Amino acid sequence: MGNWHAFPHNASAYQYDADALREMWPRLHAGDQEPFPQGESADVLIEAWQAFHRGDFQQAVELGLKAGDAGHVVANKAAGIYADYLEEDDDQKLVIYQQCVDRAVQAIEQEPGNPNAHYFHAFCLGRYSQGISIAKALSRGLGGKIRKSLDSALELCPEHAEAHTALGLYHAEILDKVGRMMGKMTYGASPDAAMESFNRALQLTPDAPIAHIEHGNGVYLIHGDKRLEDSNDAYRRAAAIEPIDAMQKLDVEYARASLEE
C-alpha cells in the first residue's frame, strides 16, 4: 500500500476504546447502519474501526484485510474516505477506488444480503466515475451499475442514510451532465427524486456533515447559480456541526474551506 498521508488534524477526541466505541456506535454508524462487530473476527474489526474513527485510515484498511471476508466494509470505507480527502495524486486515487470496487464486487458475491457490500460498491464506483469524468463513466455504463447497487442497498436497508445521499447525488450528477429530458428518459433521473433522496438522508442523519454537503452539491448541480445561496446554506449547516470522528472532521473542514473560497 505504500505510506499513506496522515490525518492532518488533532484526533485526541476520536480515540475510542472498545467500550466507548460500543457506546458511540449508533451515532458513529447512523449513516451506514453497519452492525457492531461480532463473531470470530470481532476483535480485529473493532481495532480496524477504532483506527478508522481516529483517522488512521491505512491501519484501518490493513486490519480490515487481516479480518478476511468480514473486513470489506471498514477497508472500503477507510480507503474511500482517504482517497476522497487525503490522497493528492489523481492516478493513485483511481487505483484506490478500483481496489475498493474489486473488493466490493467480491463481497457482493459472497454476501448478497449485506447492504454495505452494495453501498460501498456504489460509493467507490461513483468516486471513480467522478475521477474519470461523469460523461466518460456514463459512456462506459457505470451509471447503471451504481444505480443497481444503490437500489440493492436501500432495498436491504431502507434507513441507510449514506445510500440515500448517494442516490440523490446520482440523480444530480446525471442531470448536470446530460440534461433533464435525457436524464429522465435514459436514466430515470429527476430533480424531485434527487431532493427526495437528500431530504430522506437529512431526516435520518441531521447531524451528519456529509448529508448537508452533498445536499448542497446536488442543489447546485441541478439549479446552478440560481440556487447558490441555498447550496451555501447547506455548507454552512455542515460547517457548524461538531464532528464525532475523523471522517466527520474532514467533512466539516471541507465545508468550511469551501465557504471561504
> Helices marked H in the chain — which ranges?
18-28, 42-54, 57-66, 72-85, 90-110, 115-132, 134-139, 142-156, 161-178, 180-187, 191-204, 209-223, 228-239, 246-260
Contacts of 221 (CB under 8 A, 6+ apart): 172, 173, 175, 176
Predicted model pTM: 0.94
Q: Of 33-42, 57-66, 116-125, 182-191, where does mean pLDDT reach its minimum?
A: 182-191
Within this chain, do residues 188 and 132 fall inside the same structural domain, yes or no?
no
Say whether pLDDT at 117 is over 70: yes
Residue 28: inside a domain:
yes
pLDDT digits over 187-227, tens only? 788 999 999 999 999 999 999 999 999 999 999 999 999 99
Residue 175: inside a domain:
yes
Domain count, the chain: 2
Within this chain, do residues 200 and 258 fall inside the same structural domain, yes or no?
yes
Q: What is the C-alpha separation between 24 and 44, in angstroms, rounded?
A: 18
- CATH code for position 234: 1.25.40
Within this chain, do residues 141 and 175 fall inside the same structural domain, yes or no?
no
pLDDT digits over 125-164, tens only? 999 988 988 788 788 888 889 999 999 999 999 999 999 9
Q: Which residue, 114, 146, 178, sits at the end of a domain?
A: 146
Within this chain, do residues 137 and 192 fall inside the same structural domain, yes or no?
no
pLDDT band at residue 33 using 50, 70 and 90 as cut-offs: very high
Say whether pLDDT at 94 is over 70: yes
Average pLDDT along the chain:
94
Within this chain, do residues 53 and 116 fall inside the same structural domain, yes or no?
yes
Within this chain, do residues 107 and 218 fall inside the same structural domain, yes or no?
no
Segments forming the whole domain that contains residue 108: 14-146
Q: What is the C-alpha separation between 129 and 187, in angstroms, rounded?
A: 16
Q: Which residue, 81, 112, 146, sits at the end of a domain?
A: 146
Give yes or no for a contact between 213 and 234, defined as CB atoms under 8 angstroms apart. yes
Within this chain, do residues 254 and 133 fall inside the same structural domain, yes or no?
no
Q: Which residue, 119, 146, 173, sits at the end of a domain?
A: 146
Say whether pLDDT at 104 is over 80: yes
Residue 33: inside a domain:
yes
Residue found by looking up cell 458513529 in the block: 28
Within this chain, do residues 172 and 141 fall inside the same structural domain, yes or no?
no
Q: What is the C-alpha separation between 151 and 115, in angstroms, rounded?
A: 10
Contacts of 57 (CB under 8 A, 6+ apart): 4, 7, 51, 78, 79, 81, 82, 86, 246
- What value, to the nearest 5°, has the Cα angle with vertex 148 and ends 164 and 145? 115
- At 16, give phi and psi (nearest 5°): -100, 120
